[in-house]
Amino acid sequence: MLSDTTQELSVTLEDAQTTTESNEMPVVVPQAVKAKIFPPERLSLDSFINFPLPSYASAGSNGDLTQYFVTLPPDLTTMTAIMDALQTLPLPPPSVIKQLSSQAASAWQNGSRSLVYAHANDPRRFAFWVLSFWRGVSELRTNQTGWRAAQRFLSQPAFHHDDSEAIAFTAHMSTLPWSDRIMVRGFGDWVLVQDLRQFASRDWLNNSHLNVMLGVMYDKIKAIDPAVELRYKVQNTFFCAQLRAAYAARATYAETRSVVRDAGTNLVDAPHTICFISHVRGNHWTAVAVDSVNLQIH
């Protein structure tokens, strides 16, 4: 991580003008800004949850997004001044950030060279990378909100004495770095720590949970009978949707590379059964098995 030295926290006027006059839209947040304002990557989940980040403004700029884009170059030329502003000014609302992101490339092509905090009526002009900064902080705040919900779920009185798994999960939150990837027994792959929060909730039977359960179940079956992998292939919850999309585009199916086509080719080359689940009528899951050995669908 960068230290707060004068060399690291300064940007010359010449550098700022060179970046602004470039034909390339600047999108990378300076490392000095990330080091100063974003949470350290090794920060524990417990500390990450309460890490101070810029807040959202209560409203955008009266719906007129053109007020954010300015044709003049950025007027903040020292990193210290930039970071003081970034730390104190509120972010645009998430919906505004999303809309600005979709319009940024077009605005740059039409001559805009800086952005202002129009929602805060602040005239200071920032380089275009401030939009990446807004998106980054917004994503961090979303992660914080999700982990706070997980923390509340785990702190329920019912878990205090009866649930050793909830107690262990809570204990890990004080040591696991928020941005890390870890190997979780039964998952079969490295998992982002931030994705673990979905398991500290009652929001079950979504795609992610089901994929994990399918993977764990399949691994346990293969541990008993390794040869089962030759007879049965288990697909994830997205396979049925991909199958429908492939059928809708069947006119170009033969020329298109896709998971579905690869699965179909393997089904013919080495006959076996493909197993997957389908979300039917929006309210329940149904198991499907395509058996190319006996030419049956179950």
Tokens of 16: 């700022």
Q: Name beta bridge partners: 291.
A: 273, 296
The confidence score (pLDDT) of residue 283 equals: 66
Contact 114, 128 (CB under 8 A): yes
The confidence score (pLDDT) of residue 139 equals: 96
The confidence score (pLDDT) of residue 190 equals: 66
pLDDT per residue over 163-194, tens digit each? 678 888 888 899 989 998 876 665 656 678 88
Tell which residue, 244, 206, 30, has the closest CA to residue 133. 30
pLDDT per residue over 53-70, tens digit each? 999 998 766 678 999 999
The confidence score (pLDDT) of residue 184 equals: 65
The confidence score (pLDDT) of residue 110 equals: 96
How is residue 194 annotated by DSSP?
G
Per-residue pLDDT band at 204 (split at 50, 70, 90): low
What's the rounded mean pLDDT across residues 151-161? 78
Answer yes or no: is pLDDT of 282 > 80: no
Residue 116 burial by CB count (10 A; 0-12/13-18/19+): exposed, middle or buried? buried
Answer yes or no: is pLDDT of 145 > 60: yes
Q: Is the pTM of this model over 0.85?
A: no
Phi, psi of 213 (to 5 degrees): -65, -40
Residue 78 burial by CB count (10 A; 0-12/13-18/19+): exposed, middle or buried? middle
The confidence score (pLDDT) of residue 186 equals: 57
Pairing between strand 232-234 and 273-280?
parallel
- Rounded CA gap, 280 and 288, in Å? 11
How is 13-70 classified by DSSP, letter by letter?
HHHHHHHHHSSSPP-PPPHHHHHHHSPPTT-BHHHHHT---PPBPSS-STT-GGGGEE
The confidence score (pLDDT) of residue 161 equals: 60
